[in-house]
Amino acid sequence: MEKKIINLGIFGFGVVGQGLYEVLNRTKGINARIKKICIKDPNKARPIDASYFTTDPNDILNDPTIDVVVELINNTEDAYQIVSTALRNGKAVVSASKRMIAENLPALYQLQVENRVPFLYEASSCASIPIIRNLEEYYDNDLLNAVEGICNGSTNYILTKIFEDNLSFDTALQQAQDLGFAETDPTLDIEGHDPKFKIVILLLHAFGTFVKPEEVYNFGISHLNDFDIQFAKQRGCTIKLIGSCRRSNGHVNAYVLPHLIKEHNLLYDVYNEYNGILLESAFTDKQFFVGKGAGGTATGSAVLSDISALLYNYRYEYKKIIQNNSPIFTNDVQLKVYLRYKSPDQVDLSAFYNISEKYESPTYRYVVGVINLQKLKEANWLKNKEVNLLVLE
């Protein structure tokens, strides 16, 4: 953009919107100002002057003086309508809506190409960690083998409190909600949907592969109980919810699953609402990124970084797509897992390639063995709350 000052039209003024307002006002040297904020409820008390607000989306989308549309709302359909309309109107767009982006990536990519306008969404993946920018710029010609890590601050906070402070799952969840890390309805976080949307986005920037969210298997931490926690502690491990995408033999697989993590693993010491991402490549081996993955100012800082990048005409080039060497997505990969259950009729052990360890007691049973990811994806028995799964290193 050539303008010295860019005008922002913001949709949404919740945790992230207010975080953006705060970091924008505390940051010197970024020539951007908020012109209008579109909100749903005009009667809700807000910490800034009422003149900023409107309830009419067209006050932003059809205002020729607004240069950048910033989309920060929760409703997926409305978010897509806002973003697609803004791109068609020739406006640059910044978004933090991981679900909306993950579910509409091919269409959003096409809109950028057709309308020749940038669409940036660093905040959608790991909040304060600039992972998309690094994949786009630093790793644009590197042969990446894997991108994996903790990409949900809410679940990491809960697991930290369980393992470090011996809190119950429910107490830890309530704390995460009180601090604004988890939503009132925490299902997207604790069932692994939120990190799945992020992995879908990272798959595109790491490997150039478009994948629908429903193709990626996710299993969260809501089935976790005291037996699983003791199993982990007895083996000198902690539990982390890991999102993973990995290339092998011209294919790429992806999933979100809870893992048993040993002390030597860099992700072991990622605590509370922090995220940690490991990259493996042919040329640089392993590199590690860590930063806050939840909270208004952490996510707001990523949004502000995208706004700042627009001042320098930055846009994603999607080089991995252009290179036309994208691996094919598959769920045909073997995982070593711990599977805990109560009675034999609750699980199908015939799905395992092999079982190396087996335990039975009057209260709980478990096996350790190797199973295909596609088998897990198809396993109805994992919907049973008395069954839990952990991936072993």
* Residues annotated as catalytic (active site), given as ranges: 198
Cβ atoms of residues 176 and 185 within 8 Å: no
3-state secondary structure of 325: coil
DSSP-assigned letter for residue 337: E
Backbone phi, psi, residue 46, to 5°: -135, 150
In the 8-state DSSP scheme, what is residue 169? H
* Location of structure tokens 């976080």: 189
CA proximity to 241, closest of 225, 218, 216: 218
Q: Give the burial string for 171-207 (b: 16+ CB within 10 Å, else e).
A: ebbebbbeeebbeeebebbbbbbbbbbbbbbbbbbbb
Cα 124 from Cα 220, distance rounded (Å): 19
Q: Which residues, including other chains, have CB under 8 Å from residue 204's CB and lie 6 or more apart?
A: 105, 109, 210, 211, 318, 320, 321
For the chain, the helix, strand and coil percentages under 3-state DSSP, each to the nearest 5: 40, 25, 35
Q: Are strands 119-120 and 92-95 parallel, antiparallel or unpaired?
A: parallel
Which of 277, 214, 252, 213 has its CA nearest to residue 331?
Answer: 252
What 3-state DSSP class applies to 358?
strand
Long-range contacts of 162-168 (CB under 8 A, 24+ apart): 162/224, 162/229, 163/229, 163/232, 163/233, 163/238, 163/239, 164/271
Q: CA-to-CA distance for 192 and 133, rounded, in angstroms?
A: 24
Pairing, β 274-281 against β 285-292: antiparallel
Look at the chain and count its residues: 393
